[in-house]
Structure 1
Amino acid sequence: MTTSTTTTRAAVSMNELVKVYGTGDTAVRALDRVSVTFGAGEFTAIMGPSGSGKSTLMHCAAGLDTVSSGTVAIGSTQITGMSDKALTRLRRERVGFVFQSFNLLPTLTAAQNIRLPLELAGRRADRQWYDTVIDVLGIRSRLEHFPAQLSGGQQQRVACARALLPRPDVIFADEPTGNLDSRSGAEVLGFLRDSVRELGQTVVMVTHDPNAASYADRVVLLADGRLAGDLPDPTADGVLDALRRLSEPAPTRRG
């Protein structure tokens, strides 16, 4: 078993995680006994070749997908085996999400989209925290605009504000710059990094882009559903080299 841990308090921890899709001859083992911890107050990127299991790992960590065996905990709360209702409540109260496709409701203004998770949970926004998030993201002048009136970068900033407002234990970001141009992508990545350093947020991001991963404090590498490396203080070149090594065929031995 390969284990990857950090020395800080755990925001998310997974132990001996196995995820199998299908049965019998068609079964696919997407995750194979993965044990990994994401530290609180850290920005972690998950990377690996296509089909390595990185999105599956994030979905299991966030309680969006069930596991075949093993355990997942958010903070000290074991989520493995929770009912759908309990998982929905936990995600609403303690987990934030930023997706590639923004997932904003087109009939709501930016401000209404941002407040929606709290309203669904029956909670009121802390006005000081709301102002801090809005100003850090630089979207105050866009709050009364509808998503169709915003650029892709502005929509993703709104999505980031929506994820941050409830002060979740962790934000999961799934290819958050996938639909953005390079400038807008860099702005969103810079904000996610600043939310960790300045606001104390925990961010776990799935990405295929070595440059995006270089914004993180740490990169966790997957290959064939297993942990394949752990890079602290990553650089784009270092991540690219690590990915290249993962993609190289194993050397054959001569008898």
Structure 2
Amino acid sequence: MTTLTDTHSSGPEGVATGTAVSARGLNKNYGRGETAVTALQNVDVDFASGRFTAIMGPSGSGKSTLMHCLAGLDTVDAGSITMAGTDLTKLNDAQLTALRRDRIGFIFQAFNLVPTLTAEQNITLPVALANGTVDREWFDFVTTTLGLTDRLTHRPHQLSGGQQQRVAVARALLTRPEVIFADEPTGNLDSRVGAEVLGMLRRAAQEMGQSIIMVTHDPLAASYADRVVLLSDGKLVGDLSNPTPETVLAALAKLGA
């Protein structure tokens, strides 16, 4: 069984094969007439399987809109989004719900844990909702790796913020989704705990082969990713490999962020 380490290195250990999510010609507008806002303009982008990618840009650049559309949480006005051969833009609401439940993991800034459930019940909730069976060996591996074995009977109010986010990470990993989307996952955490969570996400990509797409405004958080995609005014304007806080800051400075 693989043992995860705490190393924050500059590049992935393996070579990614294939594409986790692909977007072509994405356009998204909010409102009409003089009040219309263009959130995405003809965005073409691929996200490699088994890699950790961060989406960044100035406020209002469209980074959250892009993630929501890629995850099937929002619709586009034009273009296509493909995940493992499935075009999300052609699915109805019921099909999108099933896809999000079965093939996508989510990690949110606010943790989104059910307060009346234990940590273990929160982790296994997606499987329960799908009437599935928990892979206990994988469950034990994930919870041990994330340091949760002595917290599984605790409810969210009995856990620290970092522990709650670890539960959210475990929940996202449990179903081995094709993609995990993380929306400002360290926004409510202090710097030390945030670094721990980011390290876990990086190792999930490097050593579990998990595909992770994260929206963040923090250059330090983005430096844990293998790649940073930059947006400005709804357009794809930059792409950094093996980012560092310094290269991300420099790229954002050019965008006026």
Q: TM-score range by the shorter chain?
A: over 0.9
Change (3 A) 1:7 1:183: closer
Q: CA deviation at 1:122?
A: 1.0
- The reply on whether 1:234 has 2:239 as its aligned counterpart is no
CA distance in 2, matches of 1:90, 1:16: 22
2:192 to 167, 183, 189: 183
Q: CA deviation at 1:25?
A: 1.3
For the 8 Å contact 2:16–2:50, the answer to whether it is kept is no
CA distance in 1, matches of 2:208, 2:144: 13
- The reply on whether 1:163 has 2:172 as its aligned counterpart is yes
- The residue aligned with 1:208 is 217
CA distance in 2, matches of 1:7, 1:125: 27
CA distance in 1, matches of 2:16, 2:160: 39
CA distance in 1, matches of 2:187, 2:176: 24
- The residue aligned with 1:132 is 141
Q: Which amino acid aligns with 1:16?
A: G
Runs of at least 5 residues in structure 2 that lack an aligned partner in the other structure = 1-14
For the 8 Å contact 2:21–2:83, the answer to whether it is kept is yes
- The reply on whether 1:27 has 2:36 as its aligned counterpart is yes
- The reply on whether 1:84 has 2:82 as its aligned counterpart is no
CA distance in 2, matches of 1:75, 1:175: 25
- The residue aligned with 2:51 is 42
For the 8 Å contact 2:16–2:51, the answer to whether it is kept is no
Matched residue SS, 1:234: coil
CA distance in 2, matches of 1:195, 1:129: 13
- The residue aligned with 2:129 is 120
Q: CA RMSD in A?
A: 1.1
Q: Which amino acid aligns with 1:128?
A: E
Q: Which amino acid aligns with 1:153?
A: G
1:55 to 46, 64, 78: 64
CA distance in 1, matches of 2:196, 2:152: 18
Q: CA deviation at 1:185?
A: 0.1
Q: Which amino acid aligns with 1:25?
A: E
CA distance in 1, matches of 2:256, 2:16: 30
- The reply on whether 1:100 has 2:109 as its aligned counterpart is yes
Matched residue SS, 1:198: helix
CA distance in 1, matches of 2:207, 2:144: 13
CA distance in 2, matches of 1:17, 1:7: 24
Runs of 4+ that moved beyond 4 A? none
CA distance in 1, matches of 2:16, 2:43: 18
Write out per-residue CA displacement over residues 154-181 of structure 1, whole angstroms, 9 at most, x where no aligned residue.
Answer: 0000000000000000000000000000
- The reply on whether 1:220 has 2:221 as its aligned counterpart is no
Matched residue SS, 1:141: coil
Matched residue SS, 2:38: strand
Q: Which amino acid aligns with 1:227?
A: L
- The residue aligned with 1:246 is 255
1:198 to 191, 201, 207: 207
Q: CA deviation at 1:73?
A: 1.0
Write out per-residue CA displacement over residues 203-231 of structure 1, whole angstroms, 9 at most, x where no aligned residue.
Answer: 00000000000000000000000011000
Q: Which amino acid aligns with 1:48?
A: G
1:71 to 71, 80, 98: 80
CA distance in 2, matches of 1:69, 1:89: 22
What is the percentage of aligned positions where both structures have the same residue?
A: 64
Q: CA deviation at 1:99?
A: 0.1
Q: Which amino acid aligns with 1:163?
A: A
For the 8 Å contact 2:107–2:168, the answer to whether it is kept is yes
Q: CA deviation at 1:63?
A: 0.2
